[in-house]
């Protein structure tokens, strides 16, 4: 089956490679030539643009940074919705606003196209290992149609509800993750300032009530864990600016609904300050180095 994959960045590239490994014929497109080159060297078919990539594709997957990129890709006279094959299933895996996602699905439906939102959790390591968690929003038939393909890229495929609900779950999850990373960093900084070895401190807290995902699998203090971004100069991984975007989505979403999320707002402000200090491209665990101004 022919699959089109648009957006071959930190996440999209390894996800597309897992589809190739599973035997799908994958045509990919990215604005960055270097990403396309890696994709084609590993067996993918590079396209010159989106319309070339989606020609004849039964499934179209997008993995772009934010709402504005996804709207730009899908809408308008030269947007994907205007030239996708009539029976194609569209799967947007980007993390974007739940409202934008709902609107796009409605516009796709008006053109007779099926669309689901399927944002992911698990980071670049999960994307490479094919162990991502997918949070899927859409009607049950479309979700079941997508499932065999999603299973080639992920371990847990959850149907969250109707269109946009995958994004709602993702926004809630990432708000919690952003807060958790800040809290974990604070606890480690306090212990280190008291003379504690961060590895000893982390090992004990991992087996105590403060344990959490950041502490167990993504320690933000350099040298505590191998192969995590903090031990590689905070390179790769999940960028500060992407976390800032997700916290922005949470704050915006809460305003519309009047949900009380004071910690989400503080987290948004802290990541914003960290980004402004020139760290936007680093992995989000670099908030470990956040300093008072």
Residues designated catalytic: 170
Nearest alpha carbon to residue 152 among 243, 17, 273? 17
Q: Which is nearer to ligand NAD, 15 or 182 (CB)?
A: 15
Q: Which is nearer to ligand NAD, 205 or 214 (CB)?
A: 214
The only residue of 3, 4, 5, 11 in contact with ligand NAD, by rule CB under 6 A = 11
Nearest approach, Cβ of residue 204 and ligand NAD (Å)? 27
Q: Which is nearer to ligand NAD, 15 or 201 (CB)?
A: 15
Nearest approach, Cβ of residue 36 and ligand NAD (Å)? 9
> Which x/- pattern over 193-232 shows residues binding ligand NAD (rule: CB under 6 A)?
----------------------------------------
Residue 29: strand, helix, or coil? strand
Main-chain phi, psi angles of 82, to 5 degrees: -85, -15
Main-chain phi, psi angles of 247, to 5 degrees: -70, -35
Residues contacting ligand NAD: total by CB under 6 A: 27
Q: Are strands 120-121 and 132-137 parallel, antiparallel or unpaired?
A: antiparallel
Under the binding rule (CB under 6 A), the answer on residue 273 touching ligand NAD is no
The only residue of 222, 237, 248, 264 in contact with ligand NAD, by rule CB under 6 A = 237
Under the binding rule (CB under 6 A), the answer on residue 12 touching ligand NAD is yes
Contact 185, 290 (CB under 8 A): yes
Nearest alpha carbon to residue 44 among 1, 85, 3? 3
| Region from 2-10, 149-157, 189-197, 206-214 binding ligand NAD, contact rule CB under 6 A | 2-10
Q: Where are the alpha helices (DSSP H) in 63-139?
A: 67-74, 80-83, 98-110, 123-129
Under the binding rule (CB under 6 A), the answer on residue 6 touching ligand NAD is yes
The only residue of 3, 4, 9, 159 in contact with ligand NAD, by rule CB under 6 A = 9
The only residue of 3, 10, 61, 143 in contact with ligand NAD, by rule CB under 6 A = 10
Q: Is 122 left (phi over 0), alpha (psi -120 to 50) or beta?
A: left
Q: Which of residues 75-114 bind ligand NAD (CB under 6 A)?
A: 94-95
Contact 188, 195 (CB under 8 A): no
End-to-end CA distance of the chain: 54
């Amino acid at each position: 089956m022919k699959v089109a994959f648009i957006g071959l960045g930190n996440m999209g590239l390894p996800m597309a490679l897992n589809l190739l490994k599973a035997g799908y014929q994958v045509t990919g497109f990215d604005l960055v030539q270097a990403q396309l080159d890696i994709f084609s060297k590993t067996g993918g078919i590079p396209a010159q643009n989106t319309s070339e990539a989606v020609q004849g594709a039964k499934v179209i997957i997008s993995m772009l940074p934010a709402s504005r990129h996804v709207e730009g890709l899908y809408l308008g006279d030269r947007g994907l919705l205007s030239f996708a094959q009539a029976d194609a299933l569209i799967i947007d895996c980007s993390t974007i606003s739940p409202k934008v996602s709902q609107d796009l699905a409605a516009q796709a439906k008006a053109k007779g196209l099926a669309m689901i939102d399927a944002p992911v959790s698990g980071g670049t390591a999960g994307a490479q290992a094919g162990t991502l968690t997918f949070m899927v929003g859409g009607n049950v038939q479309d979700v079941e149609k997508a499932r065999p393909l999603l299973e080639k890229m992920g371990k847990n495929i959850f149907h969250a509800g109707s269109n946009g609900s995958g994004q709602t779950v993702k926004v809630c999850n990432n708000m919690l993750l952003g807060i958790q990373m800040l809290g974990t960093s604070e606890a480690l900084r306090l212990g280190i300032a008291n003379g504690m070895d961060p590895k000893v401190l982390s090992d004990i807290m991992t087996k105590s009530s403060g344990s959490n995902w950041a502490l167990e699998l993504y320690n933000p203090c350099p040298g505590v864990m191998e192969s995590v971004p903090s031990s590689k100069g905070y390179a790769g991984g999940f960028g500060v600016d992407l976390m800032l975007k997700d916290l922005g989505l949470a704050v915006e979403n809460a305003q519309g609904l009047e949900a009380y999320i004071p910690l989400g707002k503080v987290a948004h402000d802290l990541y914003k300050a960290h980004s402004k200090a020139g760290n936007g491209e680093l992995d989000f665990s670099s908030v470990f180095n956040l300093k008072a101004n």
